[in-house]
Protein backbone atom coordinates (compact mmCIF):
# COMPACT_ATOMS: atom_id res chain seq x y z
CA UNK A 1 0.00 0.00 0.00
CA UNK A 2 1.45 3.34 -0.97
CA UNK A 3 2.01 6.18 1.51
CA UNK A 4 -0.69 8.29 -0.09
CA UNK A 5 -3.21 5.51 0.23
CA UNK A 6 -2.33 4.80 3.86
CA UNK A 7 -2.53 8.41 5.12
CA UNK A 8 -5.75 9.37 6.97
CA UNK A 9 -7.82 12.08 5.28
CA UNK A 10 -7.47 15.55 6.81
CA UNK A 11 -10.85 16.87 8.05
CA UNK A 12 -11.84 20.30 6.70
CA UNK A 13 -11.23 23.26 9.02
CA UNK A 14 -14.57 24.74 10.06
CA UNK A 15 -14.93 28.47 9.25
CA UNK A 16 -14.56 30.94 12.08
CA UNK A 17 -17.97 32.51 12.55
CA UNK A 18 -18.58 35.80 14.35
CA UNK A 19 -20.32 35.50 17.69
CA UNK A 20 -24.09 35.77 17.50
CA UNK A 21 -25.44 39.27 18.14
CA UNK A 22 -26.32 40.00 21.71
CA UNK A 23 -29.95 39.56 22.48
CA UNK A 24 -31.76 42.84 23.07
CA UNK A 25 -32.30 43.75 26.69
CA UNK A 26 -35.53 42.19 27.89
CA UNK A 27 -38.25 44.72 28.54
CA UNK A 28 -38.53 45.83 32.11
CA UNK A 29 -41.64 44.86 34.03
CA UNK A 30 -44.18 47.67 34.00
CA UNK A 31 -44.00 50.16 36.85
CA UNK A 32 -47.01 52.13 38.01
CA UNK A 33 -46.57 55.88 37.48
CA UNK A 34 -45.23 57.68 40.54
CA UNK A 35 -46.59 61.12 41.45
CA UNK A 36 -43.88 63.79 41.67
CA UNK A 37 -44.10 65.93 44.82
CA UNK A 38 -45.20 69.39 43.62
CA UNK A 39 -43.71 70.96 46.78
CA UNK A 40 -40.19 69.63 46.09
CA UNK A 41 -39.92 69.03 49.84
CA UNK A 42 -37.09 66.46 49.66
CA UNK A 43 -35.79 66.20 46.13
CA UNK A 44 -32.75 63.94 46.83
CA UNK A 45 -34.87 61.38 48.70
CA UNK A 46 -37.50 61.42 45.97
CA UNK A 47 -34.96 60.59 43.26
CA UNK A 48 -33.39 57.89 45.38
CA UNK A 49 -36.78 56.17 45.60
CA UNK A 50 -37.40 56.57 41.89
CA UNK A 51 -33.93 55.30 40.97
CA UNK A 52 -34.68 52.06 42.81
CA UNK A 53 -37.50 51.47 40.30
CA UNK A 54 -35.23 51.61 37.26
CA UNK A 55 -33.13 53.88 35.03
CA UNK A 56 -36.23 55.47 33.50
CA UNK A 57 -39.63 55.37 35.16
CA UNK A 58 -43.14 56.67 34.45
CA UNK A 59 -44.17 59.59 36.62
CA UNK A 60 -47.10 61.95 36.99
CA UNK A 61 -46.40 65.65 37.21
CA UNK A 62 -48.74 67.96 39.15
CA UNK A 63 -52.28 67.54 37.93
CA UNK A 64 -51.55 64.01 36.71
CA UNK A 65 -49.57 64.88 33.56
CA UNK A 66 -47.83 61.67 32.41
CA UNK A 67 -44.12 61.70 31.61
CA UNK A 68 -41.00 59.54 31.61
CA UNK A 69 -38.30 60.40 34.15
CA UNK A 70 -34.66 59.32 33.66
CA UNK A 71 -33.10 58.54 37.03
CA UNK A 72 -29.52 57.97 35.86
CA UNK A 73 -26.87 60.29 34.46
CA UNK A 74 -26.19 58.25 31.34
CA UNK A 75 -29.89 57.93 30.51
CA UNK A 76 -30.60 61.64 30.81
CA UNK A 77 -27.51 62.59 28.82
CA UNK A 78 -28.37 60.15 26.04
CA UNK A 79 -31.90 61.53 25.76
CA UNK A 80 -30.80 65.18 25.78
CA UNK A 81 -28.41 64.49 22.92
CA UNK A 82 -30.83 62.30 20.94
CA UNK A 83 -32.15 64.13 17.83
CA UNK A 84 -35.37 62.12 18.21
CA UNK A 85 -36.13 64.13 21.35
CA UNK A 86 -37.83 67.48 20.79
CA UNK A 87 -38.67 70.46 23.00
CA UNK A 88 -41.57 71.58 20.80
CA UNK A 89 -44.97 70.57 22.26
CA UNK A 90 -46.87 72.04 19.33
CA UNK A 91 -45.30 69.51 16.98
CA UNK A 92 -44.52 66.56 19.20
CA UNK A 93 -46.64 66.28 22.38
CA UNK A 94 -49.56 63.95 21.79
CA UNK A 95 -51.38 65.15 24.92
CA UNK A 96 -51.29 68.87 24.10
CA UNK A 97 -54.91 68.99 22.83
CA UNK A 98 -56.06 67.76 26.25
CA UNK A 99 -54.69 70.76 28.14
CA UNK A 100 -57.64 73.04 27.39
CA UNK A 101 -60.01 70.41 28.79
CA UNK A 102 -57.96 69.83 31.97
CA UNK A 103 -57.75 72.95 34.15
CA UNK A 104 -55.33 71.17 36.49
CA UNK A 105 -52.84 70.97 33.60
CA UNK A 106 -52.91 74.73 33.04
CA UNK A 107 -49.73 75.35 35.07
CA UNK A 108 -47.60 73.56 32.48
CA UNK A 109 -48.58 76.02 29.77
CA UNK A 110 -46.41 78.60 31.51
CA UNK A 111 -43.59 76.43 30.21
CA UNK A 112 -45.01 74.93 27.04
CA UNK A 113 -47.39 77.61 25.78
CA UNK A 114 -44.54 79.91 24.78
CA UNK A 115 -42.22 80.08 21.79
CA UNK A 116 -38.55 80.49 22.70
CA UNK A 117 -35.34 78.48 22.97
CA UNK A 118 -36.92 76.31 25.68
CA UNK A 119 -39.68 75.09 23.36
CA UNK A 120 -38.04 75.18 19.93
CA UNK A 121 -36.75 72.22 17.94
CA UNK A 122 -34.24 71.89 15.13
CA UNK A 123 -33.73 74.95 12.89
CA UNK A 124 -36.10 77.09 14.98
CA UNK A 125 -34.00 76.44 18.07
CA UNK A 126 -30.80 77.28 16.20
CA UNK A 127 -32.29 80.53 14.86
CA UNK A 128 -33.55 81.74 18.24
CA UNK A 129 -30.37 80.77 20.07
CA UNK A 130 -28.23 82.73 17.62
CA UNK A 131 -30.27 85.84 18.31
CA UNK A 132 -29.52 85.86 22.06
CA UNK A 133 -26.00 84.44 21.87
CA UNK A 134 -24.34 87.88 21.43
CA UNK A 135 -25.46 88.85 24.94
CA UNK A 136 -23.50 86.00 26.52
CA UNK A 137 -20.21 85.79 24.65
CA UNK A 138 -17.11 85.24 26.76
CA UNK A 139 -15.93 88.79 25.99
CA UNK A 140 -19.22 90.44 26.92
CA UNK A 141 -19.54 88.33 30.06
CA UNK A 142 -16.02 89.19 31.20
CA UNK A 143 -16.75 92.87 30.56
CA UNK A 144 -19.49 92.63 33.20
CA UNK A 145 -17.04 91.60 35.94
CA UNK A 146 -16.43 95.11 37.33
CA UNK A 147 -20.16 95.84 37.41
CA UNK A 148 -20.93 92.52 39.13
CA UNK A 149 -18.26 93.31 41.70
CA UNK A 150 -19.62 96.80 42.31
CA UNK A 151 -23.20 95.55 42.80
CA UNK A 152 -21.90 92.84 45.13
CA UNK A 153 -20.09 95.34 47.35
CA UNK A 154 -23.11 97.66 47.47
CA UNK A 155 -25.41 94.83 48.53
CA UNK A 156 -22.98 93.52 51.14
CA UNK A 157 -22.77 96.98 52.69
CA UNK A 158 -26.57 97.20 52.73
CA UNK A 159 -26.73 93.79 54.43
CA UNK A 160 -24.55 95.06 57.25
CA UNK A 161 -26.69 98.17 57.62
CA UNK A 162 -29.87 96.09 57.73
CA UNK A 163 -28.39 93.80 60.38
CA UNK A 164 -27.51 96.82 62.50
CA UNK A 165 -31.01 98.29 62.44
CA UNK A 166 -32.91 98.37 65.74
CA UNK A 167 -34.64 95.06 66.36
CA UNK A 168 -32.73 93.18 63.65
CA UNK A 169 -30.36 91.59 66.20
CA UNK A 170 -27.75 91.12 63.50
CA UNK A 171 -30.07 88.94 61.39
CA UNK A 172 -30.85 89.40 57.68
CA UNK A 173 -32.55 87.35 54.97
CA UNK A 174 -29.73 86.59 52.54
CA UNK A 175 -32.16 85.81 49.73
CA UNK A 176 -34.05 89.08 50.01
CA UNK A 177 -30.97 91.21 50.55
CA UNK A 178 -28.31 89.54 48.40
CA UNK A 179 -28.89 86.40 46.36
CA UNK A 180 -32.01 87.76 44.64
CA UNK A 181 -31.08 91.40 43.92
CA UNK A 182 -27.58 90.63 42.63
CA UNK A 183 -28.42 88.55 39.53
CA UNK A 184 -31.67 90.47 39.05
CA UNK A 185 -29.84 93.79 38.76
CA UNK A 186 -27.19 92.35 36.46
CA UNK A 187 -29.58 90.76 33.95
CA UNK A 188 -31.98 93.71 34.06
CA UNK A 189 -29.13 96.11 33.26
CA UNK A 190 -28.03 93.86 30.42
CA UNK A 191 -31.56 93.95 28.94
CA UNK A 192 -32.42 97.52 29.85
CA UNK A 193 -35.27 96.70 32.24
CA UNK A 194 -36.42 99.87 34.07
CA UNK A 195 -36.55 99.77 37.85
CA UNK A 196 -40.34 100.05 37.98
CA UNK A 197 -40.75 96.77 36.05
CA UNK A 198 -38.29 94.67 38.09
CA UNK A 199 -40.75 93.70 40.87
CA UNK A 200 -43.32 92.60 38.29
CA UNK A 201 -40.75 90.43 36.54
CA UNK A 202 -39.67 88.82 39.82
CA UNK A 203 -43.31 88.03 40.69
CA UNK A 204 -43.96 86.60 37.23
CA UNK A 205 -40.99 84.23 37.34
CA UNK A 206 -41.91 83.13 40.88
CA UNK A 207 -45.44 82.35 39.67
CA UNK A 208 -44.08 80.27 36.78
CA UNK A 209 -41.85 78.28 39.14
CA UNK A 210 -44.76 77.61 41.52
CA UNK A 211 -45.92 74.03 40.94
CA UNK A 212 -47.94 73.80 44.14
CA UNK A 213 -50.88 75.93 42.98
CA UNK A 214 -52.51 73.96 40.16
CA UNK A 215 -55.72 75.99 40.10
CA UNK A 216 -57.16 77.42 36.93
CA UNK A 217 -57.03 80.82 38.60
CA UNK A 218 -53.27 80.61 39.08
CA UNK A 219 -52.73 79.57 35.46
CA UNK A 220 -54.95 82.43 34.28
CA UNK A 221 -53.03 84.88 36.45
CA UNK A 222 -49.72 83.82 34.89
CA UNK A 223 -51.15 84.21 31.38
CA UNK A 224 -52.45 87.66 32.31
CA UNK A 225 -48.98 88.67 33.52
CA UNK A 226 -47.52 87.40 30.24
CA UNK A 227 -49.81 89.88 28.51
CA UNK A 228 -48.84 92.88 30.64
CA UNK A 229 -45.32 92.70 32.08
CA UNK A 230 -43.33 91.80 28.97
CA UNK A 231 -45.31 94.01 26.56
CA UNK A 232 -44.66 96.88 28.99
CA UNK A 233 -40.92 96.22 28.71
CA UNK A 234 -41.07 96.11 24.91
CA UNK A 235 -43.11 99.32 24.80
CA UNK A 236 -40.66 101.06 27.13
CA UNK A 237 -37.60 100.07 25.10
CA UNK A 238 -39.33 100.95 21.82
CA UNK A 239 -39.86 104.46 23.15
CA UNK A 240 -36.50 104.63 24.98
CA UNK A 241 -34.00 102.51 23.02
CA UNK A 242 -30.56 102.00 24.51
CA UNK A 243 -27.39 99.94 24.39
CA UNK A 244 -29.07 96.79 25.66
CA UNK A 245 -30.24 93.43 24.37
CA UNK A 246 -33.96 94.22 24.45
CA UNK A 247 -33.39 97.14 22.08
CA UNK A 248 -31.34 94.85 19.82
CA UNK A 249 -34.06 92.19 19.71
CA UNK A 250 -36.70 94.82 18.94
CA UNK A 251 -34.53 95.99 16.05
CA UNK A 252 -34.30 92.46 14.70
CA UNK A 253 -38.09 92.07 14.92
CA UNK A 254 -38.70 95.35 13.13
CA UNK A 255 -36.12 94.88 10.41
CA UNK A 256 -36.53 91.17 9.75
CA UNK A 257 -39.74 89.59 11.04
CA UNK A 258 -38.73 86.29 9.47
CA UNK A 259 -35.97 85.99 12.05
CA UNK A 260 -38.02 87.00 15.10
CA UNK A 261 -41.78 87.28 15.35
CA UNK A 262 -43.63 89.40 17.91
CA UNK A 263 -44.52 86.32 19.95
CA UNK A 264 -40.96 85.02 19.81
CA UNK A 265 -39.64 88.39 20.95
CA UNK A 266 -41.98 88.37 23.94
CA UNK A 267 -41.12 84.89 25.14
CA UNK A 268 -37.42 85.06 24.31
CA UNK A 269 -37.20 87.99 26.72
CA UNK A 270 -39.15 85.93 29.27
CA UNK A 271 -36.81 82.95 29.24
CA UNK A 272 -33.52 84.83 28.98
CA UNK A 273 -34.28 87.41 31.66
CA UNK A 274 -36.08 84.94 33.94
CA UNK A 275 -33.43 82.25 33.69
CA UNK A 276 -30.81 84.97 34.01
CA UNK A 277 -31.70 85.66 37.61
CA UNK A 278 -33.86 82.83 39.01
CA UNK A 279 -31.27 80.09 38.58
CA UNK A 280 -28.41 82.19 39.96
CA UNK A 281 -30.48 83.16 43.02
CA UNK A 282 -30.67 79.47 43.89
CA UNK A 283 -27.08 78.71 42.93
CA UNK A 284 -25.67 81.33 45.32
CA UNK A 285 -28.16 80.54 48.10
CA UNK A 286 -27.65 76.78 47.84
CA UNK A 287 -23.89 77.25 47.99
CA UNK A 288 -24.03 79.38 51.14
CA UNK A 289 -26.30 76.95 52.99
CA UNK A 290 -24.26 73.94 51.84
CA UNK A 291 -20.97 75.47 53.03
CA UNK A 292 -22.49 76.36 56.40
CA UNK A 293 -23.55 72.71 56.60
CA UNK A 294 -19.91 71.70 55.98
CA UNK A 295 -17.72 74.10 58.00
CA UNK A 296 -14.59 72.00 57.46
CA UNK A 297 -14.94 72.41 53.69
CA UNK A 298 -15.70 76.11 54.07
CA UNK A 299 -12.46 76.45 56.04
CA UNK A 300 -10.56 74.63 53.28
CA UNK A 301 -12.02 76.93 50.65
CA UNK A 302 -11.19 80.07 52.61
CA UNK A 303 -7.66 78.74 53.14
CA UNK A 304 -7.23 78.32 49.37
CA UNK A 305 -7.05 74.53 49.53
CA UNK A 306 -10.19 74.14 47.40
CA UNK A 307 -11.15 76.56 44.64
CA UNK A 308 -14.44 78.40 44.45
CA UNK A 309 -14.92 76.92 40.97
CA UNK A 310 -14.76 73.44 42.50
CA UNK A 311 -17.31 74.43 45.15
CA UNK A 312 -19.69 75.78 42.53
CA UNK A 313 -19.34 72.64 40.41
CA UNK A 314 -20.13 70.41 43.36
CA UNK A 315 -23.19 72.47 44.33
CA UNK A 316 -24.39 72.32 40.72
CA UNK A 317 -24.07 68.54 40.92
CA UNK A 318 -25.66 67.96 44.34
CA UNK A 319 -28.07 70.91 44.62
CA UNK A 320 -28.66 72.21 41.07
CA UNK A 321 -30.76 75.40 40.89
CA UNK A 322 -33.14 73.64 38.51
CA UNK A 323 -34.04 70.15 39.72
CA UNK A 324 -36.22 69.10 36.78
CA UNK A 325 -37.31 70.94 33.67
CA UNK A 326 -40.57 70.28 31.80
CA UNK A 327 -40.73 68.92 29.12
CA UNK A 328 -39.21 67.16 26.11
CA UNK A 329 -41.01 64.86 23.68
CA UNK A 330 -40.27 61.77 21.65
CA UNK A 331 -40.41 62.52 17.92
CA UNK A 332 -40.50 58.79 17.17
CA UNK A 333 -40.45 55.63 19.25
CA UNK A 334 -37.27 55.43 21.35
CA UNK A 335 -36.07 52.15 22.89
CA UNK A 336 -33.89 52.89 25.89
CA UNK A 337 -32.97 51.05 29.08
CA UNK A 338 -35.52 48.29 28.47
CA UNK A 339 -38.51 50.58 27.90
CA UNK A 340 -40.06 52.14 24.81
CA UNK A 341 -40.91 55.81 24.87
CA UNK A 342 -43.65 56.15 22.28
CA UNK A 343 -43.74 59.01 19.80
CA UNK A 344 -45.56 61.94 21.35
CA UNK A 345 -44.84 60.98 24.97
CA UNK A 346 -43.27 63.49 27.37
CA UNK A 347 -39.87 63.27 29.06
CA UNK A 348 -38.83 65.16 32.20
CA UNK A 349 -35.30 66.61 32.19
CA UNK A 350 -34.05 65.40 35.57
CA UNK A 351 -30.87 67.32 36.47
CA UNK A 352 -31.06 66.58 40.20
CA UNK A 353 -31.40 62.84 39.61
CA UNK A 354 -28.41 62.78 37.26
CA UNK A 355 -26.15 64.60 39.69
CA UNK A 356 -26.90 62.14 42.50
CA UNK A 357 -26.46 58.98 40.42
CA UNK A 358 -24.18 56.45 42.22
CA UNK A 359 -23.43 54.76 38.90
CA UNK A 360 -21.72 57.96 37.76
CA UNK A 361 -20.36 59.41 41.00
CA UNK A 362 -19.89 56.38 43.23
CA UNK A 363 -21.60 55.17 46.39
CA UNK A 364 -21.07 58.56 48.06
CA UNK A 365 -22.80 60.45 45.23
CA UNK A 366 -25.23 62.06 47.68
CA UNK A 367 -22.37 63.45 49.78
CA UNK A 368 -21.19 67.01 49.17
CA UNK A 369 -17.44 66.95 48.58
CA UNK A 370 -16.05 70.11 47.03
CA UNK A 371 -12.72 68.42 46.39
CA UNK A 372 -14.52 66.14 43.92
CA UNK A 373 -14.81 69.09 41.45
CA UNK A 374 -17.35 67.28 39.28
CA UNK A 375 -17.27 69.53 36.23
CA UNK A 376 -19.08 66.88 34.17
CA UNK A 377 -22.43 67.64 35.84
CA UNK A 378 -25.48 68.25 33.63
CA UNK A 379 -26.95 71.18 35.61
CA UNK A 380 -26.38 73.55 32.68
CA UNK A 381 -27.43 70.97 30.10
CA UNK A 382 -25.26 69.52 27.36
CA UNK A 383 -24.83 69.86 23.60
CA UNK A 384 -26.85 72.39 21.61
CA UNK A 385 -29.18 72.86 24.59
CA UNK A 386 -26.46 73.82 27.07
CA UNK A 387 -27.47 76.93 29.02
CA UNK A 388 -26.24 79.97 27.12
CA UNK A 389 -26.01 82.02 30.31
CA UNK A 390 -23.85 79.54 32.23
CA UNK A 391 -20.68 81.71 32.07
CA UNK A 392 -22.59 84.69 33.52
CA UNK A 393 -24.02 82.56 36.35
CA UNK A 394 -20.52 81.31 37.17
CA UNK A 395 -19.15 84.87 37.11
CA UNK A 396 -21.85 86.11 39.48
CA UNK A 397 -21.51 83.19 41.90
CA UNK A 398 -17.71 83.29 41.70
CA UNK A 399 -17.78 86.98 42.61
CA UNK A 400 -20.53 86.96 45.23
CA UNK A 401 -19.49 83.97 47.33
CA UNK A 402 -15.89 84.84 48.24
CA UNK A 403 -16.89 88.47 48.81
CA UNK A 404 -19.69 87.45 51.18
CA UNK A 405 -17.51 85.19 53.32
CA UNK A 406 -14.65 87.71 53.27
CA UNK A 407 -16.88 90.54 54.47
CA UNK A 408 -18.72 88.43 57.06
CA UNK A 409 -16.43 85.53 58.00
CA UNK A 410 -18.47 84.58 61.08
CA UNK A 411 -21.88 84.44 59.44
CA UNK A 412 -24.15 81.59 60.48
CA UNK A 413 -27.73 80.42 60.12
CA UNK A 414 -30.05 82.37 62.38
CA UNK A 415 -32.54 79.49 62.60
CA UNK A 416 -32.26 75.77 63.15
CA UNK A 417 -31.24 74.07 59.90
CA UNK A 418 -34.44 72.01 59.91
CA UNK A 419 -36.50 75.21 59.75
CA UNK A 420 -35.31 76.12 56.25
CA UNK A 421 -37.99 75.42 53.62
CA UNK A 422 -37.56 74.65 49.96
CA UNK A 423 -39.42 76.86 47.50
CA UNK A 424 -42.76 75.30 46.54
CA UNK A 425 -41.65 73.73 43.29
CA UNK A 426 -40.38 70.47 41.84
CA UNK A 427 -38.66 72.59 39.16
CA UNK A 428 -36.72 75.19 41.14
CA UNK A 429 -34.31 73.89 43.79
CA UNK A 430 -33.68 76.55 46.41
CA UNK A 431 -34.77 78.11 49.69
CA UNK A 432 -37.76 80.32 50.44
CA UNK A 433 -35.69 82.41 52.85
CA UNK A 434 -32.14 82.19 54.22
CA UNK A 435 -32.03 83.92 57.64
CA UNK A 436 -28.40 84.60 58.55
CA UNK A 437 -26.67 86.16 61.52
CA UNK A 438 -23.78 88.16 60.11
CA UNK A 439 -21.59 88.03 63.23
**In this predicted structure, what is the pLDDT of residue 20?**
58
The dihedral sign for the CA sequence 125, 126, 127, 129: positive
Instruction: Give the other-Cβ count within 10 Å of 62's Cβ.
Output: 22
DSSP state of 48: H
**In this predicted structure, what is the pLDDT of residue 166?**
93
Identify any residues that bridge with 378 across adjacent strands, giving them in sequence order.
none
- Nearest CA-CA partner of 409 in 304, 298, 334: 298
Q: Alpha helices of 357-412 — where are they, by DSSP H?
A: 358-361, 390-407
The dihedral sign for the CA sequence 242, 246, 252, 257: negative
Q: Do residues 211 and 423 lie in contact, with contact meaning Cβ atoms separated by under 8 Å?
A: no
Q: What are phi and psi of 53, to 5 degrees?
A: -90, -15
Q: How far is residue 5's CA from residue 300's CA, in Å, rounded to a whole number?
A: 87
**Regions of the chain short of the pLDDT cut 70:** 1-30, 257
All structural domains of the chain, each given as residue ranges with its CATH number in brackets, are 34-437 (1.10.630.10)
Q: Do residues 405 and 411 lie in contact, with contact meaning Cβ atoms separated by under 8 Å?
A: yes
**In this predicted structure, what is the pLDDT of residue 385?**
84
Q: How far is residue 76's CA from residue 298's CA, in Å, rounded to a whole number?
A: 31
**In this predicted structure, what is the pLDDT of residue 136?**
85
Q: How far is residue 59's CA from residue 68's CA, in Å, rounded to a whole number?
A: 6
Q: How far is residue 163's CA from residue 167's CA, in Å, rounded to a whole number?
A: 9
Q: How far is residue 322's CA from residue 393's CA, in Å, rounded to a whole number?
A: 13
Q: How far is residue 256's CA from residue 245's CA, in Å, rounded to a whole number?
A: 16
Cα three-residue angle 408-410-413, rounded to 5 degrees: 100
Q: Express each pLDDT in 47-102 by its tens digit.
A: 999 999 999 999 999 999 999 999 999 999 999 999 999 999 999 999 999 998 99
What is the b/e burial string over 310-348, where b = at least 16 CB atoms within 10 angstroms of the residue's CB?
bbbbbbbbbbbbbbbbbbbbbbeebebbebebeebbbbb
Residue 98 burial (C-beta neighbours within 10 Å; 0-12, 13-18, 19+) = exposed
Q: What are phi and psi of 119, to 5 degrees?
A: -125, 15
Rg from Cα positions in the chain: 26
pTM as predicted:
0.91
Cα atoms in the 13 Å half-sphere on the side-chain side of 120: 20
**In this predicted structure, what is the pLDDT of residue 29?**
61
Q: Do residues 191 and 245 lie in contact, with contact meaning Cβ atoms separated by under 8 Å?
A: yes
Amino acid sequence: MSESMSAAPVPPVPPVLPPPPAAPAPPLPPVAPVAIDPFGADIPAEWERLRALGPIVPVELPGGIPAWAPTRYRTLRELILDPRVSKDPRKHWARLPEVEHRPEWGWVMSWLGVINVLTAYGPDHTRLRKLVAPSFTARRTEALRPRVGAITETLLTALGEAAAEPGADGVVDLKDGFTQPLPTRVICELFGVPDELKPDLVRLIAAIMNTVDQSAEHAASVQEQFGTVLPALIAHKTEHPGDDMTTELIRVRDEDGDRLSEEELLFTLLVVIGAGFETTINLIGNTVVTLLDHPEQLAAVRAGEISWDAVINEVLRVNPPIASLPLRFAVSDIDIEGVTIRAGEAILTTFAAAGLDPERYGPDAAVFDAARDADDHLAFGVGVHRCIGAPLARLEAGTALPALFERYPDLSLAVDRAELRQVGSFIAYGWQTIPLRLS
